Structure 1
Amino acid sequence: MKTIRILLAAVSVLVSQWTFGQNDSIPIYTIMYNQAPEGFDYPLIGFVNNAHGNHKGAQIGFINTNTKAFTGAQVGFVNSIGDYQNGLQVGFVNSTNGPVKGMQVGFVNSSADSVNGTQLGFVNTQEHESTGLQTGFINTSTKKLNGAQVGFVNSNPIEVTGAQIGFVNTTGKLSTLQLGFVNFADSIKKGGIPIGFLSIVKQGGYQAIEVGYNELFPYNLSVKIGIPALYTTINGAFNPDFDDEFAVGAGLGSNIAVGPVFFINPEAYYLYHVHAENSITRASFNFGANLSPRVQFVAGPSVSWIRYADDYDVIDPAFSFYRERFDENDELIVGINAALRIQLSK
């Protein structure tokens, strides 16, 4: 029996080598190579599976190819479909020349058309408008994205009307949501909002440099970047009267317009007292005015919660409207701040 199986395997290999590429209208079933013409919708299970024309069913092997549309499942190391896919591709490399209406799961997933299903892998690419989901380390979509990209790097050069969620998100026009550490958009439409540590919008964004004064630190410098509705502020503060003069931190703010000149400007941020290891959580409710297209003035009350490190001297503000020490480590101070901003964005 063992000898017979070896002979059958050898014959199968020889037949596959002889018939490969000779006549694609002949069904071939061997151990190494399977071939199915159009209309031969039976499962292909082998090392290399090749279906010509439109095909339905399953291909399970190391290399699976289909020259036209495929409905069913391809499971292998390399899977390729010449037209649209309506089903499942699972492999190391999955490629479809037409639209994807099912799912691609692999290390590299590629569609030369739209994705109306899901791409799940390390690298996902699609070349036309998408209403589906890309989830991976790197996701790229070359046309309008109506679906979602979730990954480390998400890229779309045209427009995002769905969502980008990742460490780095880039798009041409933002109409809905970017959520990440770094967000970039050429322009933004009404309803678009980037949320992240650093959000850069070239047209319609907000970038400003601020110098300010408050009851704890007479010298403050901060950078504001994002959009007027929600921006990130990166802060540095200095008080020469403190034993440890410097503090650094970051937070969030918003400019809410009240007419063409005035606006309301709530802000909240966290400061770390560098050497003393104290933490200061600060919230302010500012009122602002546009002095010119580039210059803004803001001022308003603020509340600071100071969490002292163990065995550290109390911080004495220059002034305060209210001050309450709750225990050795916690203190509340109500004060005021004022600042001048130079707006860098148009």
Structure 2
Amino acid sequence: MIEKGKIDARQFTILVVMYTLGTSIIAIPSTTASYAQENAWITVLLTSLIGLLIVFLLNQVNKINHHKNIFELFEYVFGKWVGKGITVFFLLFVFIVAGKNLRQIGDFMTTHVLVETPIQVIMLIFVLTSLYGVKLGLEVISRTGEIFFPYAFFSLVLMIIFVAPQAEFKNIQPIMVNNTEGAFLTIFPTLGTPYFELVVFLAILPYVNRIGPGKKSFYIGVGIGSLLLFAVTLMSLLVLGPDFSARNVYPTYILGKKISGVQFLERIEILVAIAWFFTIFFKITINFYVLSLGMSHLFNLKTTKVLSTPLAFLLIIAGLYLAPNLIAYQNFLAHDLAPFAGTFGILLPFILILTARLRKINKKKKKRRKNKRF
């Protein structure tokens, strides 16, 4: 293995939570409300349950050989050259997702926080910070997650608590009477991020020091992240209303602005924004790390440090040109991400499991034939 470090189940849980929240905490309330309207919370609830089934599928992939990461599994199951070919396409997927995430944080910052700062500067700062983490390795990324996770988690929880008194249940009524079809049709696009993207953790799961607790922590991490996504989406609908949530690109940020009445808690939305910076930073860093790990495996390098620096600058270029503006990114999120990510997050794991089992059956048959001969 290229990565020599090990993390514990708790650290893995934190990484999964941060990744699950990532861009989703600020994007899902808007995208789901656009189609499901007042039933958007039901859409998020159903996708959360499906998300846990996806984790079950990914754990089954790891069961093929829990000592190997996903890039090693490709070659173990499909053979060296086919495996390397699949690795190339998988890395392209991770690269595109990381570039899009980088663009999203750049758009948010230039729209709401650092309005006069060039987006290239913001993206450069984020990438260089992620690059530093990738060079230090998985253990350092995990320990950093332990430091920032409490702030991100409790900021979101406190926001939900403080805006709860402003909730109006008429905003989600009548339940499943209007827009019923939209509530179910939106499930697939909503799965695109973060649930289909969770496949990247198959590159990290083998480095959890105890694989049994590691698999359980996968469920726990997705469960906690999904619960927060559900709560934020529900609160966006109850406080802002489905129409406003659908029309605004960043309803979670606007939700933070609704916290008022206590003088020292004014302008708390910037704290919510900082919490989101942490979650999206870890999502970008995890994708960047998996990308570096996969590239190192592809070219038979002994360390991830060699290619990480050029990859960092390629990510900036990708972020600028893959999504030239906010509208293009929103269209990608709503229409293209789910089938694209689903190919690697659902279809590929199914093929891996099926191929591995067929090979296992063939080996048993060959062994029986040999035994019969003797």
TM class by shorter chain equals under 0.3
Query: Which structure: greater helix fraction?
Result: 2
Please tell me whether Structure 1 or Structure 2 has the larger radius of gyration of its CA atoms.
1
When normalised by structure 1's length, the TM-score is: 0.17
Name the structure where strand makes up a greater proportion of residues: 1
Question: TM (normalized to structure 2)?
Answer: 0.16
Q: Which structure would you say has the larger RCO, counting Cα contacts within 8 Å and 6 or more residues apart?
A: 2
